[in-house]
């Protein structure tokens, strides 16, 4: 089984459609290129909103964080929004220590993220 599993879905919600990217497993330097390809592909579709569901992620290192920060920059430039949802505590702590949570909103759940 892959160390990092990703799945992408276009969600037609009542309020606003969004792209949901679910990450599960461990995201580190050995799979950050694959994660970058997944996010680049979605960002290229110029979505209004991308939500990354981190609930299945046991571990994330700074390489994966940099990929997410890059995606945030790219989305921001084209007027889109990136949000992170339901990180487990170790991942949430890493987002705080790097102050990434000051740049990218972090929500307790995907539904909270869609409510903005």
Partner 1 sequence: MAESPAGAGDFRHVAFLYRSDAEYAATVAGFLRGGLAADEPVFAAVPPGKGCLIADALGAAARRVEFADMTTMGSNPGRIIPRVLDFTGRHAGRRVRYVGEPIWASRGPAELREATRHEALINLAFAGADAEILCPYDTGSLTPAVLADARRTHPLLLSDSGPGTSAEYAVPFRLPSSCSVPLPAPPYTAMSYTYRTDLSQVRALVQKHAREAGLPDPRVSDLVLAVSEVAANTLRHTPSSGTLTIWHDRDEIVCEVHDEGVITDPLAGRRRPAPGALGGHGLWLVHQVCDLVELRSDNTGTTIRMHMLIRPRQPAD
Question: Among 113, 78, 83, which Cα is nearest to 95's?
Answer: 83
Asked if 29 interacts with partner 1 (CB under 8 A), we say yes
The single residue among 38, 39, 65, 71 that binds partner 1, judged by CB under 8 A, is 65
In whole angstroms, the minimum distance from the beta carbon of 72 to partner 1 comes to: 8
Residue 83 Cα distances to 2, 16, 17, 49, 66, angstroms: 25, 14, 14, 8, 15
Asked if 78 interacts with partner 1 (CB under 8 A), we say no
Contact of 64 with 54, CB cutoff 8 Å: no
Residues that bind partner 1 (CB under 8 A): 3, 26, 28-30, 59, 61-63, 65-66, 69-70, 72-73, 89-90, 93-94, 97-100, 102-103
């Amino acid at each position: 089984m892959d160390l990092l599993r990703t799945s992408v879905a276009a969600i037609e919600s009542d309020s606003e459609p969004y792209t949901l990217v679910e990450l599960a497993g461990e995201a580190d330097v050995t799979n950050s290129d694959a994660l970058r390809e997944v996010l680049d592909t979605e960002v290229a579709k110029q979505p209004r909103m991308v939500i990354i569901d981190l609930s299945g992620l046991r571990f994330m290192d700074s390489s994966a964080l940099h990929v997410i920060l890059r995606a945030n920059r790219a989305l921001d430039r084209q007027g889109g929004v990136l949000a992170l949802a339901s990180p487990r505590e170790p991942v949430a702590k890493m987002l705080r220590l790097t102050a990434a949570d000051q740049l990218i909103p972090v929500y307790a759940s995907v539904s909270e993220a869609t409510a903005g």
